[in-house]
């Protein structure tokens, strides 16, 4: 085997591992959708089906002292941080065994033991909080990087502006990761900004910014990895705009009738399962291996959700606990 062959083999193995991880996130969320439609889960649930490539690419970059702040479309980020799917299902199902015992729900999953400092239901609110995690690292002797993930819509929130300036002014190790799925909830981002290339705003804060293909975990790993390295070495914050797409509605129940002509076809071609499957086929990976990635993920999520469903509901007599020290 030549060095080139070995590199190609390793790239293929990575792509297959990425596909498996994309499928774990997707199978998780498809199962969540079934549970919501069946009425086992209730309330407003926001899925990120189609956007998994970003979280998969980022997952290997997150170190033990790092802190991740996601949004209400953050199930995949919890999985990327290594939180057990059963505890996530249980949380979404309001079970006592949920990762937050039912206090968080789909939109506030939090698992600090995994570096996952939580989802947030307020658009853009996680960005200033991430600055604080980075600030803490400056005083606690760690080389923490704080990763704050938000959508294109959050780029129009004042809190995000304040956070970007705060991080840049103090050269804080924050990575601002914008998952641009082109829809700010139900409204197209390009109609809500004067400059749709959102990464260009970084220059105004005096930090690097770039746009990457969020569907390709390999590219995310590489480019976001650079941002992590810069932050860890004291070079301050970076804005990374990862282009992606949401294949489903804003929330479960969104009629999703607002898509533009040709959009769905383009999305279906670009999304990470399609991209990675093509890449693996081109590299000669067997259909069996490719199908196996999906099958294993579905089995895992079927069994994790069954276990979560069997767990007791959160106990109403504990509802007032944990308000104060």
List residues binding another protein (CB under 8 A): 67, 69, 100-101, 103-104, 108, 110, 112-113, 117-118, 120-122, 125, 127-137, 139-140, 144, 146, 158-159, 162-163, 165-166, 169-170, 321-325
Instruction: Supply the minimum distance, in Å, between the C-beta of residue 104 and another protein.
Output: 5
H, E, C per residue of 18-73: HHHHHHHHHHHHHHHHHHHHCCCCCCCCCCCCCCHHHHHHHHCCCCCCCEEECCCC
d(CA 91, CA 82): 15
3-state class (DSSP) for residue 315 = coil
Quick one: 120 or 184, whose CB is closer to another protein? 120
d(CA 201, CA 142): 29
Beta bridge partner(s), residue 243: 180, 213
Which parts of the chain fold into alpha helices (H)?
3-37, 52-59, 75-80, 85-92, 126-140, 158-169, 201-205, 217-232, 263-270, 272-282, 287-310
Strands 187-188 and 183-184, sheet pairing: antiparallel
Quick one: 22 or 172, whose CB is closer to another protein? 172
Cα distances (Å, whole numbers) of residue 49 to 4, 19, 75, 301: 34, 14, 10, 15
Instruction: Supply the minimum distance, in Å, between the C-beta of residue 264 and another protein.
Output: 34
Instruction: Supply the minimum distance, in Å, between the C-beta of residue 139 and another protein.
Output: 6
Quick one: 111 or 230, whose CB is closer to another protein? 111
Instruction: Supply the minimum distance, in Å, between the C-beta of residue 276 and another protein.
Output: 34
Quick one: 113 or 204, whose CB is closer to another protein? 113
For residue 190, count other CB atoms closer than 10 A to its CB: 14
Instruction: Supply the minimum distance, in Å, between the C-beta of residue 232 and another protein.
Output: 16
Quick one: 114 or 223, whose CB is closer to another protein? 114
d(CA 285, CA 54): 23
Instruction: Supply the minimum distance, in Å, between the C-beta of residue 119 and another protein.
Output: 10
Quick one: 109 or 276, whose CB is closer to another protein? 109
Distance of CA 260 to the CA centre of its chain: 24
Quick one: 58 or 314, whose CB is closer to another protein? 314
Quick one: 32 or 146, whose CB is closer to another protein? 146
Instruction: Supply the minimum distance, in Å, between the C-beta of residue 266 and another protein.
Output: 35
Q: What angle do CA 310, 79, 43 make, to 5 degrees?
A: 55
Instruction: Supply the minimum distance, in Å, between the C-beta of residue 151 and another protein.
Output: 17
């Amino acid at each position: 085997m030549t060095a080139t062959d070995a590199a190609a083999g390793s790239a293929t193995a990575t792509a297959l591992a990425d596909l498996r991880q994309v499928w774990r996130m997707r199978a998780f969320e498809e199962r969540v959708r079934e549970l919501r439609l069946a009425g086992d889960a209730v309330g407003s649930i926001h899925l990120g089906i189609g956007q998994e490539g970003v979280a998969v690419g980022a997952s290997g970059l997150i170190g033990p002292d790092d802190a991740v702040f996601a949004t209400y479309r953050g199930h995949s980020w919890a999985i990327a941080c290594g939180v057990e799917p059963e505890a996530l299902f249980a949380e979404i199902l309001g079970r006592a065994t949920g990762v937050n015992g039912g206090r968080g729900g789909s939109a506030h999953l939090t698992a600090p033991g995994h570096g996952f400092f939580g989802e947030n239901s307020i658009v853009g609110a996680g960005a200033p909080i991430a600055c604080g995690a980075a600030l803490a690292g400056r005083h606690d002797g760690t080389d923490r990087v704080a990763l704050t993930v938000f959508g294109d819509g959050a780029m129009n929130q004042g809190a995000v502006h304040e956070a970007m300036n705060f991080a840049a002014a103090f050269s804080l190790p924050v990575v601002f990761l914008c998952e641009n799925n082109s829809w700010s909830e139900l409204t197209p981002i390009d109609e809500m900004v004067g400059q749709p290339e959102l990464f260009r705003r970084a220059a105004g804060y005096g930090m690097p910014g770039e746009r990457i293909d969020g569907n390709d975990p390999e590219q995310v790993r590489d480019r976001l990895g650079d941002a992590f390295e810069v932050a860890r070495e004291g070079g301050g914050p970076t804005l990374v705009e990862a282009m992606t797409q949401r294949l489903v509605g804003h929330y479960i129940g969104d009629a999703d009738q607002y898509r533009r002509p040709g959009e769905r076809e383009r999305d279906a071609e670009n999304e990470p399962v399609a991209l990675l499957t093509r890449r693996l086929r081109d590299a000669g990976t067997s259909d069996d291996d490719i199908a196996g990635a999906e099958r294993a993920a579905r089995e895992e999520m079927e069994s994790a959700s069954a276990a979560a469903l069997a767990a007791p509901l959160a106990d109403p007599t504990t509802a007032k606990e944990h308000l104060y020290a």
